[in-house]
C-alpha cells in the first residue's frame, strides 16, 4: 500500500506558497498562450501541440535530464554502503519509501533530489560532499534532500519552471527570427506580432521571480523539517557551514559548470550578499539558514 504521509513535519506555509505560485504561473501561462493564439490564429494547432508536448516532456523527463546533466550515477548498497545506510536511517525515521541513490563524480561538495513523486525520486550526493562530511553531517544533508521529496516541492518547481523555459525560448526565437521584420509595417498584424517577444519577456521575468521566491522558502522549510526529523539541527548547521566554506576553495570553472543547477542543490555554487542578488537567488543566505537552525536547537533543548 502506498504511503500518503511521512513523518516529516507538515509545512502549511510551503503548501500555501506552492499552491499560490502554481495558480499565478497558470495565469501567466494562459496569458502567454492566449497572446500566441490571438496573433497566430492559423497556427493554433501547432502552438497547442508544441506547448503541450513541451509541458509533458518537462514534467516526465526533466528529473532524468537534470540528473544526467549533473552526472548522477546510481549506486548499489555494496558500492556506497555509507550513503545507503544514511538514507535507510532517514527513510525509517520518516516512514518513507527508499528513493534511488546516486553519486556524482564532482569535487563540488553538494547534494540534490529529483523526481516528480516519492516513487520516482532520486537522491544524489557528490564525491566532494562524501569526502568532507562526518556521518551526522551527511545524514542532516540527506534529510534535507528527502524533505524536498516528502513535500513534493521538486515536482512543483519542475512544473513552475516550465513557463519560464517556454517564455524564454519564445523571446529568443522572436529576437533571432523574423518577428522584427513585421514591425516595420504599420498594419495591425505587424503591431500585434511585436507584442509576442514583449509579452514573453514579461512572462519570463515574472515566472522567474515567482519560482525564486518559492525556491528560497522551500530551502528554509527543508532545513527546518530535516532538523526536526533527525533531532540534530547542529549537525545540519555544521554541514551548511562546512560546505559553504569549502565552496571558496573550488575552482571557478567547476563552480560555473554547477551554477545552472543551483535550484536543485543543497548549497548554491555562487552566492552573494548584495540585496538585488539575494532577491534573484535560489537559496536564502547562509546567515538566515543558520539563524533558523539555532532557534530550532534552542527550542529542542528546552525541558
- Beta bridge pairs of residue 265: 112
Residue 136 marked ligand-binding: no
Active site annotation includes 145:
yes
Residue 148 marked ligand-binding: yes
Contact 214, 18 (CB under 8 A): yes
User: Considering Cα of 71, then 56, then 154, then 74, what sign does the dihedral take?
Assistant: negative
Contact 169, 55 (CB under 8 A): no
Checking phi first, is residue 232 left (phi over 0); if not, alpha (psi -120 to 50) or beta?
beta
Identified catalytic residue from 145, 259, 274, 287: 145
> How many other C-beta atoms lie within 10 A of the C-beta of residue 162?
22
Residue 219 marked ligand-binding: yes
**Among candidates 11, 38, 59, which has minimal Cα distance to 199?**
38
Q: Return all residues near 168 (Cβ < 8 A) that are at least 6 apart.
A: 200, 204
Q: How far apart are CA 22 and CA 47, in angstroms?
A: 22
C-alpha atoms less than 13 angstroms from C-alpha of 10 in its C-beta half-sphere: 5
- Distance set, CA 12 to CA 9, 16, 18, 200, 217 (Å): 10, 6, 10, 32, 12
- Beta bridge pairs of residue 175: none
Phi/psi of residue 272, nearest 5 degrees: -140, 150
Active site residues: 145
Binding site feature residues:
144, 148, 219
Binding site feature residues for Zn(2+):
144, 148, 219
Amino acid at each position: 500500500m502506498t504511503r500518503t504521509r511521512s513523518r516529516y513535519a507538515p509545512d502549511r506555509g510551503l503548501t500555501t506558497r506552492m499552491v499560490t505560485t502554481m495558480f499565478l504561473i497558470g495565469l501567466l501561462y494562459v496569458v502567454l498562450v492566449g497572446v500566441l493564439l490571438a496573433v497566430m490564429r492559423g497556427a493554433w494547432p501547432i502552438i497547442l501541440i508544441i506547448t503541450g508536448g513541451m509541458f509533458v516532456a518537462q514534467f516526465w523527463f526533466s528529473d532524468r535530464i537534470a540528473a544526467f546533466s549533473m552526472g548522477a550515477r546510481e549506486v548499489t548498497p555494496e558500492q556506497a554502503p555509507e550513503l545507503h545506510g544514511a538514507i535507510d536511517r532517514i527513510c525509517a525515521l520518516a516512514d518513507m519509501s527508499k528513493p534511488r541513490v546516486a553519486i556524482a563524480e564532482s569535487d563540488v561538495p553538494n547534494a540534490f533530489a529529483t523526481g516528480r513523486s516519492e516513487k520516482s525520486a532520486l537522491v544524489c550526493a557528490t564525491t566532494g560532499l562524501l569526502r568532507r562530511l562526518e556521518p551526522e553531517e551527511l545524514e542532516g544533508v540527506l534529510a534535507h534532500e528527502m524533505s524536498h521529496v516528502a513535500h513534493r516541492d521538486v515536482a512543483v518547481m519542475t512544473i513552475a519552471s516550465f513557463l519560464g523555459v517556454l517564455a524564454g525560448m519564445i523571446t529568443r526565437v522572436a529576437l533571432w527570427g523574423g518577428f522584427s521584420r513585421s514591425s516595420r509595417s504599420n498594419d495591425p498584424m505587424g503591431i500585434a506580432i511585436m507584442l509576442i517577444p514583449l509579452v514573453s519577456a514579461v512572462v519570463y521575468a515574472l515566472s522567474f521571480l515567482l519560482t525564486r521566491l518559492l525556491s528560497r522558502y522551500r530551502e528554509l522549510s527543508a532545513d527546518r523539517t530535516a532538523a526536526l526529523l533527525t533531532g540534530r539541527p547542529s549537525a545540519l548547521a555544521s554541514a551548511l557551514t562546512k560546505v559553504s566554506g569549502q565552496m571558496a576553495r573550488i575552482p571557478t570553472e567547476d563552480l560555473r559548470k554547477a551554477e545552472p543547477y543551483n535550484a536543485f542543490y543543497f548549497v548554491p555554487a555562487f552566492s552573494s550578499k548584495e540585496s538585488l542578488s539575494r532577491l534573484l537567488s535560489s537559496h536564502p543566505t547562509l546567515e538566515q539558514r543558520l539563524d533558523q537552525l539555532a532557534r530550532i536547537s534552542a527550542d529542542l533543548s528546552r525541558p
